[in-house]
Structure 1
């Protein structure tokens, strides 16, 4: 007999998924302890769990998976082959439909008219406190993208409006925003994407207590301080509208002691078998719960935490470090909504995309 944790570790679905499949009647444990409720699986069920995981990765509906599992051990494999072929045809039709829709979307993009004025063409010349811009870059740098196929995410957006410069970075899985005060610019909203090497060169100059001058002229951005100058061309790519990305429904808010929360994440339980692949790398997950008294728990595999938020643990640790405050505010909405980590003074926040535990 194998415990539910052993089933997960030996190549089956995650513990949370195994609980879900039990409740759904897809893979029912051979025995459940009547006292503790702990699930135990028979020798032949490991192969079934691995088969189930493959079928789920291929997107097969649970109703068909039930029939595949029922027919897998039999001598007549016609039913199983028929179900596999039918699902493959559905996937092929879905891919064909998706290609048609994307072709139509590309045509719409090709025929879009550019607005008469664009925030990406303004000429900018402003002054910003060097410590504030340095803190803003430190708060968002961890979230910048590194995907060569999405070059528009491989930099830090300077979004300038009124007397505020917002630094923004995202790699799709996380997004960070921080702000700094500015003076000397009274023009329309302006945006410029600063490539990461140039952003890092700018940050290296922001070491003193004085001010920095930021200038944008056409396709070139420059930062000047008493210690030197960093300048370079900016890409012609458009950064996504981050203002749309940060509109979240109200969630449960909980203040956290940064050092204590970091220790709880580093020493507490991670998902057994609960890794997810992002950009070719596997990451462990932390499952978080905000209790009724406003504290935050890092849940383990024995917790029935399918309604809680699961996030990439490394990403959350990076966000804590970038928050650079002794206390931060954690905000959890629905399990499918991004997790927010905010500075109490509102100068910076980061969003982390959740991971579904049932798949």
Structure 2
């Protein structure tokens, strides 16, 4: 087919095709020796399309050639490396831009809202961020809400099916109270540096916060403009637990890992906690537990329950349950201040 038709089929312009032919990436199948017209075969369309797509993600020519000539596994590895570099470069550019904006703004220091031990802050951020989610049109669900007072700083996140919150006592009192929702991805990128810093000063500036770390590069995290859900109203409206079960954390996690089902049922009685798949095709697993209150059968999405249990602090987790359709409070049985709420799914009582 002539170059114009091939250009339409591949999505590349004729000038781009000439460039890629001259560079050796996509030579034409035939060149008319008299007219110099270039012709392409139909089986070259796939390579041309892949070439265009690789250039659309800003892959350099050398990388494009390596991907096109590699096998499937090697091509996937090269693509992953390229995307990782783009993400790393974007994060570095964002941090440099934040520094430039600070300088352009006169270098006015931020308002101190907390000073925390780095390892403690890093652990808390990682725990609470498990309750975030990326959903189109709801950017706030991917953020971590920070509430700072003179006495404490609370970190909260929710994906609508889980809500995790942890309260930390600052090493030094804050200058004033403050609340805002910080981009969760920015915090994740900063966690490694935060963990290696003895103390971290959290300062608020317009449109973001700075994590100030002595002897390490300061990190800037963006604020999300959307309002965070009114989690305090929801927590205040929770009814009293009707059943409480204290279960070994490792045994419960192991039981959840054994079933491939997307949902799992907990049957709670004075004899313990039975973990069952919804369809009862697999044998139940009975866990030792200390139970008070009435018997209960409650069902969860595994992707909701597992991370809520896995981030709990200590060897045992306490489940405060409010019926088969009420939110369950999950926290350490003896220590720690991380609290997670997990929503069950509709139970099939005929099962």
TM bin, normalised by shorter chain, reads: 0.5 to 0.7
* Cα pair distance change 1:243/1:183, threshold 3 Å: same
Q: 1:126 aligns to what?
A: 114
Distance in 2 separating the partners of 1:292 and 1:232:
48
Instruction: Decide whether the 8 Å contact of 1:145 with 1:169 is kept in 2.
Output: no
Unaligned runs of 5+ in 2: 1-109, 284-294
Distance in 1 separating the partners of 2:163 and 2:302:
15
Instruction: Decide whether the 8 Å contact of 1:162 with 1:185 is kept in 2.
Output: yes
Instruction: Decide whether the 8 Å contact of 1:257 with 1:328 is kept in 2.
Output: yes
The RMSD of aligned alpha carbons is: 2.5
Post-superposition offset of 1:169: 0.8
Post-superposition offset of 1:124: 3.7
Q: 1:231 aligns to what?
A: 220
Query: Does residue 1:263 correspond to 2:251, yes or no?
Result: no
Asked which structure has the greater CA Rg, the reply is: 2
- Aligned partner of residue 351 in structure 1, secondary structure: strand
Structure 1 residue runs of 4 or more that deviate by more than 4 Å after TM superposition? none
TM-score, with structure 2 as normaliser: 0.58
Query: Does residue 1:353 correspond to 2:343, yes or no?
Result: yes
Q: 2:125 aligns to what?
A: 137
Distance in 1 separating the partners of 2:348 and 2:256:
22
Distance in 2 separating the partners of 1:138 and 1:189:
23
1:172 to 139, 160, 166: 160
| 1:85-234 equivalence runs, <5 A | 123-208=111-196, 210-226=198-214, 227-234=216-223
Distance in 1 separating the partners of 2:326 and 2:345:
10
* Cα pair distance change 1:268/1:234, threshold 3 Å: closer
Q: 1:341 aligns to what?
A: 330
Distance in 1 separating the partners of 2:247 and 2:296:
21
Q: 1:101 aligns to what?
A: none
Post-superposition offset of 1:162: 2.8
Distance in 1 separating the partners of 2:315 and 2:247:
9
| 1:68-87 equivalence runs, <5 A | none
Instruction: Decide whether the 8 Å contact of 1:125 with 1:184 is kept in 2.
Output: no
- Aligned partner of residue 347 in structure 2, secondary structure: coil
1:291-314 C-alpha deviation (Å, 9 max, x unpaired): 124x321134459xx962111112
Post-superposition offset of 1:202: 2.6
Unaligned runs of 5+ in 1: 1-121, 271-283
Instruction: Decide whether the 8 Å contact of 2:162 with 2:308 is kept in 1.
Output: no
* Cα pair distance change 1:162/1:309, threshold 3 Å: farther
1:60-98 C-alpha deviation (Å, 9 max, x unpaired): xxxxxxxxxxxxxxxxxxxxxxxxxxxxxxxxxxxxxxx
1:36-55 C-alpha deviation (Å, 9 max, x unpaired): xxxxxxxxxxxxxxxxxxxx
Post-superposition offset of 1:333: 1.4
1:205-242 C-alpha deviation (Å, 9 max, x unpaired): 12236111100123220002233211143122111122
Instruction: Decide whether the 8 Å contact of 1:268 with 1:298 is kept in 2.
Output: no
Query: Does residue 1:249 correspond to 2:225, yes or no?
Result: no
Instruction: Decide whether the 8 Å contact of 2:211 with 2:220 is kept in 1.
Output: yes
Q: 1:108 aligns to what?
A: none
1:291 to 251, 269, 272: 269
Post-superposition offset of 1:186: 4.5
TM-score, with structure 1 as normaliser: 0.57
* Cα pair distance change 1:220/1:296, threshold 3 Å: same
